[in-house]
Structure 1
Amino acid sequence: MMALERIKPSVQLIDSWGSEDLVAGMTDVIYRGAPPSSRVPQERVERRIRSFLRDGHHSVLEFMGASWLLECSRACTHELIRHRVASYWQESQRYVDYGRGWFRVVAPPGLDVGDAGLSHYLSLERMGAPPEDARYALGNAVASRIWVQMNAREFFLAFLPLRTGLGAFHEIRLVAWLMFSAVAGRFPVTARWAWEHVTDHPDYCRGLKAEDRAECRSKSIIDAFTKWGVEVPSELTQFMGE
């Protein structure tokens, strides 16, 4: 029996495109106020981006975005791919042969998930089953790598409010906060706006009284990171401390 590797969810920023500077500058270009090479002062960038967000002109955010490499459980990825205004490229259990030693399990510390079906998987392979059939024996704790790409509108205004609230599954909540931490410095004005308004989602503060809504974000973060034994990134603690 091969050694069972137990890991925690992880997020790596792969790439980002566009910028708040570009979006703010293109405002003048589109309305014939300046040539395409023009740039605008930083204070005007912030004013314009916040104006777009405040007034609901969210389509301009689709001209910037990011992609991340995630590794989390299949339970997590099943929820992730429900966000259809995004692109995904996921590890295939049909073609990855876990009998070669690439098997990993993702589960909270202290939760016994056994070998997540690995022993049954290996027995099926010994009986001649190909990986695409042996995978029927695997459980939701099996780790899966997935490349995720979202534009800023989808990530900050749709994904984040749904997946970082107290009503969300703790693993995808952890992953969503890690994704946010990875791009907050790339899109600082939009990230700040999202942080300020994320609790507007009606289910965000599930289980808390109305007067405790201001604590929702911190409770969400502390609960998810503590449950998984993961250190809160410095990019996120800066938001929490303000």
Structure 2
Amino acid sequence: MILEKPNIEIISDTSYTDMLKKIERIGRVCYKSEDKIKDGSAEKFISGIIKRGHESVIEHESISVKIICDRGVSHEIVRHRIASYSQESTRYCNYSKEKFGEQITCIDIASGFKYDLDSETDRKKYDVWLEAMENAEKSYFKMIELGASPQEARSVLPNSLKTEMVMTMNLRSWRNFLRLRTSKASHPQCREVACSLLELFSEKYPAFFKDLLEDN
């Protein structure tokens, strides 16, 4: 069995500069202020409309992200709309094959829940979880050996199973997702993914997300 931590990767190829120019051009149609477009005007304009709550304008751009998380977290993520999702399928992926290392991969629970493995209590919880993952792997491969298809054998796989998904949202939907999922009330493992995304987005697309990081 392989253990991994969650991971994120932006796979959109639209540059931040092009996004700024496009959103400013579209947004200024509302005010008929196209004559005010000049070098360096976009970020100030966009920050202003976001501050005023005029976020419909930023729906004209989107970002695609590849997320590696566990199946349980993915079930929470796909509840968000408007979005497009493509996800690793346990119906068709046979984890007994060489390309998967002939193992299942699980997302390490200690990361999202911030277990202190030097603590006796956390260590005991972690060991119980680890044993459950190992048993799930054994049961999965036993079913495969008995002739079960991947879609049959997946029934014994845990929520901690690693999954890869590509998620595309417009900028307004991303802001809503990040507001909700970086909240301290969010599931710790989902919050771990969302907080990493917010930090990355704030660095790469500051006009659209930096205010959320400051409020977080």
1:168 and 2:168 correspond: no
Contact in 1 for aligned 2:203/2:210 (Cα 8 Å): no
Aligned partner (choices 70, 75, 78) of residue 75 of structure 2: 78
Counterpart residue number, 2:39 = 41
CA apart distance, 1:34: 4.4
Q: Give CA deviations for 1:123-168 in whole Å, capped at 9, x if unaligned.
A: 1111111000000011111100111111110111x10111111111
Letter in 2 for 1:96: C
CA distance in 1, matches of 2:21, 2:206: 11
Return 5+ residue gaps in structure 2 as ranges: 111-116, 118-125
Match of 2:156 among 113, 121, 137: 137
Higher helix share: 2
TM-score, normalised by the number of residues in structure 2:
0.80
My pick for the range that moved more, 19-28 or 58-67, is 19-28
Distance in 2 (alpha carbons) for counterparts of 1:97 and 1:28: 51
Match of 1:89 in 2: 86
Q: Structure 1: where are the runs of 5+ without partners?
A: 198-216, 218-242
Q: Is 1:99 matched up with 2:118? A: no
SS in 1 for 2:11: strand
Is the CA contact (8 Å cut-off) linking 2:109 and 2:160 kept in structure 1? no
**Distance in 2 of aligned mates of 1:130 and 1:105:** 20
In 2, Cα distance between equivalents of 1:75 and 1:173:
13
Cα distance, 1:187 vs structure 2:
2.0
**Residue equivalent to 1:65:** 62
Counterpart Cα distance in 1 of 2:21 and 2:5:
35
- In the comparison of the two structures, how many residue pairs are matched? 191
What residue is the counterpart of 1:223 in the other structure?
A: none
Instruction: Report the secondary structure of 1:19's partner residue.
Output: helix
Counterpart among 127, 133, 137 of residue 118 in structure 1:
137
2:19 counterpart residue number: 19
Q: Which moved more, 1:65-74 or 1:172-181?
A: 172-181
Q: Distance in 2 between matches of 1:32 and 1:180?
A: 32
TM-aligned CA deviation for residue 116 of structure 1: 6.0
Identity of aligned residues (%): 27
Higher relative contact order (CA 8 A, sep 6+): 2
2:211 & 2:60 partners in 1: Cα distance?
Answer: 17
**What is aligned with 2:201?**
183
Does the CA-based 8 Å contact 2:82-2:169 persist in structure 1? yes
Q: CA deviation at 1:29?
A: 5.3
How does the TM-score come out when normalised to structure 1? Answer: 0.72
Q: State the Cα distance separating 1:45 from its structure 2 match.
A: 1.9
